[in-house]
Chains A and B, each alone.
Chain A
Amino acid sequence: MERTLDPEVLASALGEYRPGGVLPSAQDLLRAMTDLEIAAFRGEREIEDETLATAWYLHGLAALDPDTPGYDADRVRRAFAASAHLMDLAVGDRRRPPAERLQIAFAAQAGYRRCEQDPNATAVYRQVRGLIDTSGELRLHIGTLAVEAGVVFLGFERTDLGRALRRWRRQLREVRAVMRRDSLARTMYGPAEAVVEAVFHLYQYLGTGEEADLASARRLLVDVMTETAGRGDGLARWVAAHLFQLSGEMARSSLYRLLPAGTPAAVARSFAMSEPPVMTLWPPQRQLLQLERGNPLDPATSRSLISVPTSAGKTLMAQLVICSHLAQRPGRVVYVSPMRSLGREMRSALRGRLRVLGRRLAAEQPEFPLSTWASAAESDGGDVEIVTPERLMHMIRNNPEGALEDVGLVVVDEAHHLGQGDRGFVLESLLALLQARADIRLILLSAAVGNKGDIASWLDPTRDEREVYFTDTWRGPRRLHGLIYPNLMTDQAELTERPATARTSSQVIATVPVEAIFAVRPTAASDISLLTTGEVGTRRYHGRNPRQWRKALPNGIVNYRVFAAGAAELTNAGSVLMVVGTRRDARNAALAIAEHLPPRPRAAALADYLAEALGEEHPLVRCVRHGAAYHHSALPEDVLHAVEGALRRGDLLAIASTSTLTDGVNLPVRTVIVHHKVDGDPLTYDGERTLSPAELLNAIGRAGRAGRESEGWIFLTRPYEPRPAEFEHLDPDPEQLRVASTLMTDEALASLAAAEQTLRDDADGIFALADSAAADFASFVWLVLHLHATVAQPQGHPLDALDGLFGLSRTGNARAADRWYALADRIAEKFENTDPAPAGRWAATGTSLGSARYLDWLAKRLAVYLERWATENADGMSAEPQEWPLQRTLDFLIEHQVFDLLLEHCPEVTPHWAFKDKETRGTAMTVAIAPALREWVSGVAIPDLARSWQPGVPAAWALDQAVRNISTAFGHALSWTVGALINLVNTNPALSPAVPRLNTHTAWHIRHGVDTEQALTLLSAGVTSRRIAHLLGREAALLGHRADALRQWTAQHHIDGWTELYRAGEYEIQDLLEYVRTPADLINRIIDGGTATTPLTRLVPGTPDGPVTLARPSRDRPTIRIVRDKRRVATVPADRHLDVLAMLDSGLDLRHQLHGSDLITSRANLLR
């Protein structure tokens, strides 16, 4: 995508330069623009009249009629782009009257829309939102009403637009009543009235796709342009002309027009009418939908790769592919994301879309016991599954046939992660298995990568690679690059003389203030501007001469704290993400940022929730109270989910995150500060982890929130004053962005060499392979062999499936590939010599082969103990095998030291249970795992667990460790292995049929830390709070409510009941509302059938039928109330709350009637 800070683009927009003429030269304009960028970074937004005039000229130059001789569409687009960029910078100039700023804003928005930088139009709207008058009398701002309507429309913020239109249309109705006219046409109010009505119809059109609305809007706009609506309102004419032009383009980019022929309208509606609303598509999304060959939305396209930059709207593309497939083909869809935060994001976005589509998202299911997919008809079933690669792989391992049964489409997001870290091979091997299924459509989405052609050819060797991949360079916000470094303010040093002592001679100690300096360079050709935070701390040195100040004395401000101070400073302009190397760095950085921020009331709800979940003294709670947080994989899922939500809503100002792609934050922010060494960084010491180009690009891609701001800022930290060349680190060479298999990394090849050596000495050596690429490869080979062996009519060579591995198919490193194949042959020999039954079991565990063999051995022992128990207790047993309850199972496992054994023998578990008495130079502490696990499962709150596990250790540190151990050991490693173990025990062929089985949900209880089936149901159904699930679960268990009865019982409490009885917070309420929801499909009913019926609750007896209004929920009154004459007459029940809210937010003009105990909603009559 073309950027405007480019002399060539500006020269083309400006036309031939004439010295002494009206317009500046391209170089002068570029200089003015870069100066403005720097000023904007400083928070100064004043623009010179001459520069603004240039923006208006460019806006006018773009008005050239296409019929004009010499019309040049490219030049027009560039004029728009340059003008919009300048206007965007000018719109914040508060010296200018509001009316002028509104015009500047509209010009910027129209320009951005016309040069295909659509999200920036929304960002501009956010800057002038406060100037939109929806409360004052119409007559006092009739002169700007048309511009206001244009600005709020092009902002595409549905809630704001709906509110403004409701208010203005009501006011216009009142004006018509006063004037005693049906229309205000040909009065002073006529043009603005027509623009407001046109905007209303456009809004309706984009929501419902009804062509009549588009026609009405265009007719009204023509009335304004021809002055049929009234004379003397030049601004309205200008706005109308733009909207008229844009209406055609919007219609062409509306989903209703772009979805392939035959796609039901419900698909477009599912995007237009759910949150976040999609009214028009961004350029790459439009292009994707218009692809003639290999269109991934075409059900006939079997293989496709969508490779676009971060912030190009890739997630929405995935949603379009999914919803479009569901509407056209039978069978379920599996969405695979290696990024857990992206999975969570997709889960919340798709839920609303599917709701409008009349489809469902499947609930999260436990790994053990593993069932086949639940059908959509079942309470926890659905049409779309959102899984990690590990999860889907696990399903295939355990049930090769059932796992992919009825699956019509698999969408793999962030597919370039197949080249990333430990988890990359899981994705690569999963893709290899999926590749073998020609009957399942496979659509990959990836960031922009250098070798998309290679991936495309691998994906579908039968077609031209350019028909298999789709790519586009467009991305949302512009980016400003900078470096940040600590600087000694030597001229302000204070010198202190220390008198001589018996052991030392006299000394001078210099106390030197330190500042964070931002070095900013808007373009590669720009001069570097330096900006400072001012003093953020001090350092002390020996000696009075700055040349002596090389090594600071202890206790001075360290670099990360300087950068944190800089980060805090930047929160004034929007949210900041600081990318750091380790979890500890993330925590420390967030705490340091928080020190510079005042308490933040907007973050209080999150802080309160986290205090309940983690304990008030947990460091995360402390920093969140000031609007800063940290994010890494050792925090519980519900905590990460809540933190991400708060960042998205703007409740949080700053977040520090580890750099690991798969565990990182997937959300955009205004500013990214990379406090991490990057590949090729000369400062890196041996063995230090550096950011790969892909990781760096991913971090950079987070800078700039499309629709929030038109520019993102990205800073790389440096420990000293950098050289200009160091800016280049922020522009990785595209060639470096090649996706390569993790099998071909130096580390993997080293592990291969080690494995070769091991196997040379001992054929059983494959069971000793652990925690390496070779171990993962061996497990996969074992699985491939097992799958081949269990197929009814095996075809081809057992190892043929390995050809599907990306690394082995297009490696370019044939020698290494041969070695991997040779290793596979050795594994095959071992497989051949292994009893098929255990061989199959080992393939299914999902651990290393060594751990699998150990688990199998342990399972056999436990089966023997079970048999023995059954023999000893034969009297009370029935013929049918019973499943022990959870507590009995835990007793049994603890009695046989199972948790200690797993900790000792499974390398997957061992490192994840570790405690120290203090963080720095601490001594290891032993915390017995079995009692700790029992406490955790019984629902004990984390602060109490921390005290119990590490009495006497400072609370903050004890909480930090408790949370980390729970997340990594109970949340992942131990729950996985225990699940696999119980599965092996319960299916052990030696176990007599009548012997009781261990509780199959034990692993799921361990993962979530709850002890009732009901709590698990709630947690599986999307309730993320362990606390509320535990409380509700315990009570429901006492009352005997299960499945649907549990849902109804929960719903009966309603929001006020949850708050009063269980102290439910905002986060918990949202989850519970989703859980109790009865799908109602109100919007489709209103559009298609005219009316929608909602049963009501808490009806005031004796209320007659008739018109009512709906009062939206507020902090004091959290339910939706049905109101007549300012009195509540009924309430929307909890299970309908979200659907009614979605209906109210849909932008449809509605009227409501009470009929008996039902609410009947229909569309209000349209004005024209």
Chain B
Amino acid sequence: MSLRWGSMRLEREVGRVTVPAQRAMERALAAGNRLVDLTRREPRGQEQVCRWELVVTIGQEPEDRAAAAWIIADEIMKARTDLDDLGYRLWRENVLAGTKPVGVDREHVLLHASPVFEANDTTGVTGYVGEWLWYLLTRDLPPEPGRSVVVLDPPKSAVNDGGPDGLVIHRVPGSELGFVFRLWEMKKFTGKSATPADTIRKAWQQINNEGSRYMGQFSWGGRALAPDLRIFVGSMPRQWVDRKESGNGGVSIALNATDTPSAAFDLSHTHFTTHTHEGALQGLMVAIDDLENFAKDVRRYIWSAL
């Protein structure tokens, strides 16, 4: 079940966010200020080789959608500014007050808001928001018994190089190497071509290609981790090509709610054949009504201070 935010559509066409940032922020706070608080995960395909989850939004009102967009915008700016409290404050206070900073303050906000959003390329922004959707939905999951997340990186701040990927490493006491990882391939489906099934198939077929760069870089970048994790991370590509059970794959699809299929990921094991152990494949589908415009809302909240 997904929400219908159809009433927003007309206003969005004139290029304004109908729900002011202040109201969106308040609604987000009221719900818990986390994306997981505004969504629900529904397990699907439990009988399949590749089990998956459908993430749908809970609330019915335009404010709920605005709250979700606000949370993502706010998380992005929090990550970008990090210890630059002044930068974060300048952005947030101006967006919430509906004002625009001037002079050096404007330059300051621009420095943080610019990457991805200044270019205002719909495809790029949608892909970027898709990565953040996956990241926030994964980050804020409740802890699982017997395993804990030790590595989950936020999406890259600025690069748009055609290879959105994600990686989660869990510590699993008692497992062969002490850790397991899942490499995620993320795709968006905006209904403009083919079907979600095609997108899923391509994602599985690409996971080895696209994931190779991510793993190649990550295995090096983990050199300053704790010794046991460092050794694990450094050998991830080796585990992957050796098809160890510590290596797993995942495909995450963000799509328009109206395009949500009833069955999905049922043929994944025929597309991704290198890893066959139990649980090697996992799917995630995030259904958002009018995904591209949702991504534009995120951009508007970030950019409205400029």
Contacts and interface: CB of A to CB of B under 8 A. Distances in A.
User: Bound pair: A and B?
Assistant: yes
B82 interface: yes
B182 to A, nearest CB: 16
B154 interface: yes
Contact of B212 (A53, A190, A244): A53
B198 interface: no
B157 A22 contact: no
B22 interface: no
A103 B217 contact: yes
9 contacts: A49-B206, A49-B209, A50-B209, A60-B220, A60-B236, A139-B114, A232-B80, A234-B217, A241-B221
A49 B235 CA distance: 22
Given A56-B212, A180-B86, A241 B157 contact: no
A226 B81 CA distance: 18
A242 interface: yes
Interface string A121-156: 000000000000000000111111000000000000
Contact of A233 (B104, B156, B163, B209): B156
Given A68-B234, A99-B159, A63 B216 contact: yes
A1039 interface: no
B159 A143 contact: yes
Contact of A68 (B160, B220, B235): B235
Contacts of A55: 212
Interface stretch (B52-60, B137-145, B189-197, B238-246): B238-246
Nearest to B107: A178
B170 interface: no
A91 to B, nearest CB: 14
Contacts of B274: 20-22
Interface in A329-364: none
Interface stretch (B4-12, B92-100, B222-230, B279-287): B222-230
A975 to B, nearest CB: 63
B150 interface: no
Contact of A21 (B215, B220, B241): B241
A57 B154 contact: no
Nearest to B79: A232
Interface centre among A57, A63, A187, A225 (most CB of B within 10 A): A63
Interface string A12-26: 000100101111000
B302 interface: no
Interface residues on B, range: 35 or more
Interface centre among B81, B155, B216 (most CB of A within 10 A): B216
B82 A230 contact: yes
A728 interface: no
Contacts of B212: 52-57, 60
Contact of A53 (B86, B114, B208): B208
A23 B84 CA distance: 44
A235 B217 contact: yes
A679 B157 CA distance: 62
Nearest to B158: A143
Q: Chain A interface mostly helix, strand, loop or mixed? A: helix
9 A-B pairs with least C-beta separation: A143-B158, A60-B237, A237-B221, A225-B224, A186-B83, A99-B161, A56-B212, A60-B216, A63-B219
Given A143-B157, A179-B108, A64 B234 contact: yes
A232 B221 CA distance: 12
Interface of A: 15, 18, 20-23, 49-50, 52-57, 59-61, 63-65, 67-68, 96-97, 99-100, 103, 107, 139-144, 175, 178-181, 185-190, 222, 225-226, 230-235, 237-238, 240-242, 244-245
B111 interface: yes
Given A61-B238, A103-B161, 4 more contacts: A53-B208, A103-B217, A142-B115, A237-B220
B157 A232 contact: yes
A23 B242 CA distance: 9
Contacts, number: 183
Contact of A56 (B80, B81, B162, B216): B216
B242 to A, nearest CB: 8
B112 interface: yes
A231 B227 contact: no
Contacts of A226: 224
B243 A65 contact: no
Contacts of B160: 97, 99, 143
A905 to B, nearest CB: 75
Contacts of A18: 243
A188 B115 contact: yes
Contacts of A49: 206, 209
Given A56-B213, A64-B235, A226-B224, A139 B110 contact: yes
A235 B158 CA distance: 11
B61 interface: no
A143 B80 CA distance: 11
A232 B241 contact: no
A68 B153 CA distance: 24
Nearest to A20: B273
A22 B243 contact: yes
Contact of A63 (B210, B234, B241): B234
A53 B163 CA distance: 12
Contact of B235 (A65, A96, A180): A65
A963 B210 CA distance: 63
Nearest to B108: A178
Contacts of B87: 179, 187
A143 B115 contact: yes
B210 to A, nearest CB: 8
Contacts of A240: 221
Nearest to A139: B114
Nearest to B236: A60
Contacts of B227: 67
A52 B209 contact: yes
Contact of A140 (B114, B162, B223, B237): B114
Contacts of B221: 225, 234, 237-238, 240-241
A233 B157 contact: yes
Given A57-B216, A238-B218, A186 B82 contact: yes
Nearest to A22: B241
A233 B156 CA distance: 6
A625 to B, nearest CB: 43
A233 B79 CA distance: 11
A187 B84 contact: yes
B225 to A, nearest CB: 9
